[in-house]
Amino acid sequence: MSTQAHLRLHTLTPEDGQFSCSWITLQDGQAVTEPGQGDLASAAASIDADQIIVYVPTLDVFMTRVQLPAGRKSQLQHALPYALEENLTEEVDTLHCALGARNESGSYAAAVVRHQTMTHWLERMAEVGIAPRTMYADINLLPCFANGWTIACVEKQIHVRTGSDEGFVCEARMLPRLIEKALAQQTAPQQVHLYGCEFPDQMTSQDLLPAECEIFQHDAPANGALISLLLERSSAPGSSLNLLQYEYAPRSRIHQQLRPWYTTAALAASLLVVGLFSNVVEYVSLTRQSAQLEQQIQQTFKRTFPEVKRIVNPQAQMKHRLAQLRGSGQGGPSFSEILSSVAPLVAKTPKTNVRYVRYQNGQMELLLDLPDLKTLEKLKNQLNEATFWQVEIKSANSSDNKVQGRLLIYKKS
């Protein structure tokens, strides 16, 4: 079962500018804790409930009724400040207007509070960790009777509830005038319930109320605390005038608290977009570079191994070819071993050019252009004498005053 903490804010104390307050916790209409009284910090330390309902001084709330055209609630909420404008003494932009329920006559309950006052209440409570679920004027602490008014005399003030969403607070000397005004605006009550008031005879003798109106006298609230009236039967607030509407609704207040971070979040989002864009640009650039490198690898492979016509994976094919050139798994000398000892002698032979070099299975074949057969024979003998390899002349063709010779080099047996 959910528990409700009811917290009433009193007026500011002149000494420190802090609210004094009273509170009580209820569960299913029964008191869970004794009524407490102190400052907001004490209330925050004492309250442990699922919901917090706050009551603010009615002196700071203007409660009235207003006629509005038919429409959706959002439209009515937008029209409310302008419908009340003629009855207000301050600029509409400085006031918070809350919309209540519609009665049988078609008028709507409304409440008006200064934005500055609403902000002050909420900020002071937020400082001590109090987050109200709903907020009402404190005359809603008085019991509400059908066809009746409720009047409570506490704290040198008179609290008058003339309906579920109507009422006022005043000093004793102002009571006759305000009752007269209330009777002019609404149906006269059939009964009046007094809590802690000692003037029932005075009210009838001064013709403040109709003669047929019944007056019921009740004990004063316990400890003179208005919040104790919640323990009276039928004392549920029963009001539709929750002041926490529009920008002051609990969810809207979260957005208000987050609003200072919107700029930071927007900047972070911008940086994220810029970073993502940079990554995309870098990815495209790297993809292009990869394609260029792949093309260069294929071109290098074709130049190195022109006899290979089908290129599927140039890197793997090149590794395979290099392994063959090294004589991998053949038991013969590697390509580099033969070339390192043969190349210097060939390079020293005058007027000799290497047409191509072929290596396979531990044997190297050189196709050379030489000036004559004598030079070819001499080179063969030098290679045989100066290296570890056996060198043979496989062929020799003479044309155009030069000789094209083919040498076969392999390991001596």
In a domain, 321, yes or no: no
pLDDT (tens digit per residue) in 131-187: 999 999 999 999 888 889 999 988 788 999 998 889 999 988 888 888 888 888 888
Phi and psi angles of residue 379, each rounded to the nearest 5 degrees, phi first? -65, -40
Residues 6+ apart with CB under 8 A from 122: 132, 248, 253
In a domain, 11, yes or no: yes
**Statement to judge: residues 191 and 275 lie in one domain:** no
**Number of residues that this document lists for the chain:** 413
Helices vs. strands in the chain: H and E counts, helices first? 10, 18
In a domain, 318, yes or no: no
Number of structural domains in the chain: 3
In a domain, 370, yes or no: yes
In angstroms, the CA 235 to CA 223 distance is 17
Determine the pLDDT at residue 272.
86
**Statement to judge: residues 136 and 28 lie in one domain:** yes
- Report the pLDDT averaged over residues 127-133: 91
Judge contact between 40 and 125, C-beta under 8 A. yes
In a domain, 193, yes or no: yes
Q: Which residue has the tokens 């003339």?
A: 162
Residue 103 has pLDDT above 60, yes or no: yes
**Statement to judge: residues 89 and 201 lie in one domain:** yes
Q: Helices 262-304 and 314-325 meet at what angle, rounded to 10?
A: 40
Residue 308 has pLDDT above 80, yes or no: no
In a domain, 392, yes or no: yes
**Statement to judge: residues 94 and 73 lie in one domain:** yes
Query: Can you give the CATH number for the domain in which 400 is found?
Result: 3.30.1360.100
- Helix then strand then coil, % of the chain, to nearest 5: 40, 30, 30
SS3 (DSSP) at 363: strand
To the question of pTM greater than 0.85 for the whole model, the response is no
Among 350, 239, 356, smallest CA distance to 307 is for: 356
Q: Which H or E element spans position 360?
A: strand 353-360
**Statement to judge: residues 112 and 218 lie in one domain:** yes
Which one-letter DSSP state was computed for residue 219? P
pLDDT (tens digit per residue) in 323-367: 666 554 455 788 888 888 888 888 888 989 888 888 888 888 999
Query: Can you give the CATH number for the domain in which 140 is found?
Result: 3.30.420.380
Mean model confidence pLDDT for the chain: 83
Phi and psi angles of residue 309, each rounded to the nearest 5 degrees, phi first? -95, -30
Residue 16 has pLDDT above 70, yes or no: no
In a domain, 319, yes or no: no
Which one-letter DSSP state was computed for residue 408? E
**Statement to judge: residues 49 and 165 lie in one domain:** yes
**Statement to judge: residues 10 and 158 lie in one domain:** yes
In angstroms, the CA 339 to CA 383 distance is 11
Q: Which H or E element spans position 231?
A: none
In which band, very low, low, confident or very high, does the pLDDT at 319 lie, cut at 50, 70 and 90? confident
Among 395, 396, 392, smallest CA distance to 371 is for: 396
Residues 6+ apart with CB under 8 A from 76: 68, 99, 108
In a domain, 110, yes or no: yes
Q: Domain end: 248, 276, 297, which one? A: 248
Bridging pattern class, strands 4-12 and 95-102: unpaired
**Statement to judge: residues 282 and 400 lie in one domain:** no
* Strand-pair partners of 399: 402
In angstroms, the CA 82 to CA 24 distance is 38
**Statement to judge: residues 288 and 386 lie in one domain:** no
Q: Which domain holds residue 263?
A: 258-313
Greatest alpha-carbon pair distance for the chain in Å reads 154
For the CA atoms of 47, 49, 52, 58, what is the dihedral angle to 10 degrees?
Answer: -50
**Statement to judge: residues 267 and 308 lie in one domain:** yes
pLDDT (tens digit per residue) in 37-78: 998 999 999 988 888 999 999 999 999 988 888 778 788 888
176-185, 229-238, 299-308: range with lowest mean pLDDT: 229-238
**Statement to judge: residues 98 and 235 lie in one domain:** yes
**Statement to judge: residues 91 and 17 lie in one domain:** yes
